[in-house]
Structure 1
Amino acid sequence: MAVLNYNITVLDLHFVMVGFEYVLPVIRGIQGKREYYVSMCPLGILPKLFPLAENSLTLPTLSQRRINKGRIKKIARYILENPQDYVFSAITASIDADTTFEALGEVAEFRKIGRLRIPMEGRLTIHDGLHRRVALEVAMGESPGLRYETIPLILYIDTGLRRSQQMFIDLNRWGIQLPATLTLLYDSRDPIALMVQTVVKDVAFFNSYTYLEGDRIPKTSDKLFTLYHLYQATVELLRDIPITNKEEKLVFALSYWQQVGQYLAVGEYDKPMDKLLFALGEIGRFLLTHYPHNWQDKLQELNLSDITEDGIEGLLREWETVITQ
């Protein structure tokens, strides 16, 4: 079997003095009867390969997103806070230039591996991943060592503005926003998300009645609230409470929702409980703040097991009575 012996690093992008061109080691593919190329790009080269477009571009000549500075900051912070395990999908771009692909050989897989030559005057436009590219540059400003890491590039040959704009639409056509509930269910970085996951796992009532598959509960489901509703209620529960230790916060949240779950399990409910859940978060925060040693007793006085469909307002009125005593 032939040994692949080709002088290609992860991405040895360099300027060839004769002709002034970029030379990228790539793998060639076919999609929609058009060639495209996949390569690995050192992060330090991204700003050179994809300089930011000028703000003078008008709407009809745009083929990529406007930059959202707030989003850039969030992505850059994500990178810097997770240097050991951040993850990004490929940056997808088009090349508006006369390119040349030089295959490694003429047999089997050797025809798909080679070098892509791109004139330096050619234009490379990002259609998916612009904010990642800018955020990575921002992150490298604070952590220069990132420039040696890599990100995959998917490169299409551009045939003009109309094709470039259509590529942008097609690449973003099928994207959907992940439901907040699923984001929380699989998030291992957000401490409150982890806390809520533990509540659903360990507290029987919430284990039975929390909907985990999306943000809208189907009419045929017996669930009463979503994981996102419980997350919002827990955020409210823990807001400005007199506990700073994360583990102690988790202990309190588990204890509070455990007790709430015991009371609620006594009643019968057939309506969504998102408003009630949020109100209980507010109540718990108030009780811990004003009754740190007997909040459990005060919570019991609310008689949660008697709450009916229209009982949320009554609960809040009763709560006002309890807290003024």
Structure 2
Amino acid sequence: MLINQPTELYERRFFAVRGVQAGREYYLVNCPFYLLPEIFNDLDNTGIPPSQRAQRVINKTRVKAIEKYLLSNLNGYVFSAATVSIDGDINFESTDGTSNVGLLIVKDRAQYIINDGQHRISAIIDSLKEHRGHEYELLPIIFFNDPGLEMSQQIFTDLNRYTLKPAQSLNILYDTRDDFAKIARTVASDVSFFHDVIEFEKTTISNRSIKLFTLNGIYNATKILLGKRNDSTKKNSSYACDFWEKLGNELNEWQEHFRGKLASSILRQNYLSGHNIFLNSAATIASAAGEAGIGTEEIISIVANEDWRRDNPLWEGRALQNGKITKSNMSLMLTTNILKLRSNISLNERESNAEQLYQQKQRLLK
């Protein structure tokens, strides 16, 4: 004799807080990490057509980066809440005499679709394969009851409609984990030529701004400058500050700007030395000079004595294209090639090939 078996034998229970948005209930729960692989057991959506998905395709590189961040900061990581749609039989039971605090009961055959947070969840799941010590940590998740998953795509769209990634300069300003960020902040505050002229919140500077460089520009150039140095953060900060200070002491246009005789806007308008390509070129040649055994003072003198005016024909096709500054790696290489040749530093194969191609183009233009 056949015995009728219950179709929903198992269920999951989450302590939850119930809320309402636009007339729709949602439930905020804290989900233990160890449950995530069970709930989200198939995150590979690469084979699903975009019209049938409710999320982007998983970016494995991004997942790996988040996993590394988590495992490197187990005592200090921060994850925001994920948002998930549930298609299935759910029930909310109030407890402790309050209507909005209680248990969210989800039948085991329910389907979970991540609307926001798939890379965080995927990274946590992967991290558990490497290390189990954090399996009882909690991830906040906002669950929406979405029968038939009719709203999941719209939820994804709405959540991402007005998102804006913080400017890199602001990230550097607030980042206490990255040693290079700490060094960049020190350079921005301690080098006299950078006082009050660093843009800390944006990655671009308007034409009329009194600011001269962005913090991310200082960060990138100083990272190049330090290159393969293995010194402590304190020593690297001291070296970087000393380099930029000495360069300013030798560079006429920085001196004029520091004395208030040359406005930031005019410096940027008339000189390459008011732009990131100059910082990066100076940092690149200084790093190369250090490896070649050339002293800092000598290389600073070479950089400072170069003619960095934008109307100098030397820079067309290198730092400039039709008079406009370019930000490509090739432009940086061709600009730095000039400094290497001035310093009698041999070009590597890639730099030499780029230089030959540049010279060929110049001959054709004549």
- TM-score band, normalised by shorter chain: 0.7 to 0.9
Q: Aligned partners of 2:41 and 2:341: how far apart in 1?
A: 63
What amino acid is the match of 2:48?
Answer: L
Partners in 2 of 1:213 and 1:305 — Cα distance? 31
* Counterpart check, 1:285 vs 2:275: no
* Structure 1 CA distance for aligned equivalents of residues 186 and 43 of structure 2: 46
Q: Deviations over 1:242-294 (max 9, x none)?
A: x32234333321211121233343133243411111111112213323345x3
Given residue 300 of structure 1, which amino acid in structure 2 is its aligned partner? S
Give the equivalent residue in structure 2 for 1:26: 16
Write the letter of the residue equivalent to 1:249.
N
TM-score, normalization: structure 2?
A: 0.76
Aligned partner of 1:244 in structure 2 is 230
What's the CA shift string for 1:214-255, capped at 9, x where partnerless?
111123312222111222212221224xx3223433332121
TM-score between both structures, scaled by the size of structure 1:
0.85
- 2 CA distance for matches of 1:66 and 1:322? 49
Counterparts in 2 of 1:62-211, with a 5 A limit? 62-104=53-95, 110-211=98-199
- Equivalent runs, 1:225-244 vs 2, <5 Å: 225-240=213-228, 243-244=229-230
The residue number in structure 1 matching 2:275 is 273
CA–CA distance in 2 between the matches of 1:21 and 1:87? 29
Checking the alignment, whether the CA contact within 8 Å between 2:87 and 2:112 is kept in structure 1 is yes
Residue 116 and residue 311 in structure 1: after superposition, are their counterparts in 2 closer, same or farther (change >3 A)?
same
Partner of 2:300: 299
Shift of 1:196: 0.9
Letter in 2 for 1:113: V
Partner-residue secondary structure (3-state), 1:115:
strand
From the superposition, tell whether residues 257 and 59 of structure 1 become closer, same or farther in structure 2 (CA, over 3 Å): same
Distance in 1 (CA, whole Å) between partners of 2:336 and 2:42 is 54
Question: Take 1:57 and 1:301, find their aligned partners in 2: how far apart are those partners?
Answer: 58
* Equivalent position SS for 2:255: coil
Q: Equivalent residue of 2:300, what SS?
A: helix
* Aligned residue number for residue 339 of structure 2: 319
Q: 2:344 is aligned with what amino acid?
A: T
Q: Any unmatched runs of 5+ in structure 2? A: 1-6, 257-261, 316-334, 346-366
In 1, Cα distance between the equivalents of 2:51 and 2:341? 62
Amino acid at match of 1:289: E
Alpha-carbon distance, 1:90 to partner: 0.5
Measure, in 2, the Cα distance between the counterparts of 1:284 and 1:141.
43
Greater CA drift, 160-169 or 66-75 = 160-169
Q: Are 2:85 and 2:149, in contact at CA under 8 Å, matched by a contact in 1?
A: no
Counting matched residue pairs gives 303
How far is the alpha carbon of 1:98 from its aligned partner?
2.7
Partner secondary structure for residue 147 of structure 1 = coil
1:308 counterpart residue number:
309
Partner Cα distance (1:145, 1:73) in 2: 18
The amino acid across from 1:154 in the alignment is: I
> Which moved further from structure 2: 77-86 or 222-231?
222-231
- Measured on the aligned residues, the alpha-carbon RMSD in Å equals 2.5
**Whole-angstrom CA distance in 2 between matches of 1:20 and 1:281:** 62
SS of the residue corresponding to residue 208 of structure 2 reads: coil
Partner of 2:25: 35
Select between 179-188 and 145-154 the one with higher mean Cα deviation. 179-188
Unaligned runs of 5+ in 1: 1-16
